[in-house]
Homo-oligomer: A and B are copies of this chain.
Amino acid sequence: MSVAQTNLWFTELQNDNLTIGLRIEKTIHSEKTEYQQLDVYKTVQYGNLLVLDGCIMTTDKDEFVYHEMLAHVPLHTHPNPKSVLVVGGGDGGIIREVIKHPSVERAVLAEIDGRVVEASKMYFPHIASGLSDPRVDVQIVDGIRYVEEHPNEFDVILIDSTDPVGPAVGLFQRPFYESVFRALKEDGLMAAQTESPFINQDLIRQVYGDVRATFPIVKLYLAYVPTYPTGMWSFTLGSKKYRPQDVREVRVHDTKYYNRDIHHASLVLPNFVKELVGE
């Protein structure tokens, strides 16, 4: 090893039997918020790294995949999204992609932990950049409650949650999807991050079933996220009227991952994933 390297590693136990390790140049920030442990590191491989309760949330170098894919697949599926809600997503990455859509008039961010928003503005300015847009309304609130209290209000709801442990558990349960259904307008649609088909089969099967029981249209899609377990990440889309397969044109072009062909390719599932969700 070169003598100029540190021996400092961030190691995430992705599950009981799997780890990812990132060499760290230095810690940038560390605090215990009201809700969780929040750390920011500078990694050698991926630039700055945001960690909540020991789990990788996002990095400078690969954040674009997750943020573009959770935002643009559902937003392009809707012909004219004006009002969008992001549940979680305090780093602002989803909001940044949402406001690239010219039709969007209002984007609400419902994040429970205001410290995540502040840390992102400070240490990930290119991710948080959209939060100061005049169309954006940052609400530091319990997302589950916010959704319950705003029926029939949104064209698109995007659920950018942490892993289904601790406070985020409710975001992966059927009553929440039913509540999301009510918060959407009559032609609205939602998408949620739903972990890896290689190691979270039970969760994906359950969420997919719950969304299918709630929305007339359900579709799983995939993207490559290097810093999430296995690198294959799934998203579950539930829609009242529009189908992601029907998208012909895309409106947003300043992207590093998403494009029209990727939109459709992400909907294509390997056989073992098709079997998993019964498509």
Residues of A within 8 A of B (CB): 1-13, 15-27, 30, 32, 36-37, 39, 41, 43-45, 51, 53-54, 61-62, 64-65, 166, 196, 198-199, 222, 224-226, 229-232, 255-259, 261-262, 264-266, 268-272
- Could you list 10 examples of A-B contacts with CB < 8 Å? A3-B54, A5-B16, A6-B37, A19-B19, A226-B231, A256-B272, A257-B272, A259-B271, A261-B268, A265-B265
Tell me if B37 and A5 are in contact (CB < 8 A).
yes
The residue that A16 contacts in the complex, of B44, B196, B269, with Cβ under 8 A, is B44
The residue that A8 contacts in the complex, of B10, B230, B259, with Cβ under 8 A, is B10
The residue that A5 contacts in the complex, of B44, B54, B64, with Cβ under 8 A, is B54
Tell me if A8 and B39 are in contact (CB < 8 A).
yes
Residues of B within 8 A of A51 (CB): 6-7
Smallest CB–CB gap between A13 and chain B, Å? 7
Complex Cα spacing A269 to B43, Å = 26
Smallest CB–CB gap between A230 and chain B, Å? 4
Smallest CB–CB gap between A71 and chain B, Å? 15
Complex Cα spacing A45 to B14, Å = 11
Tell me if B257 and A268 are in contact (CB < 8 A).
no
The residue that A3 contacts in the complex, of B17, B37, B65, B225, with Cβ under 8 A, is B37
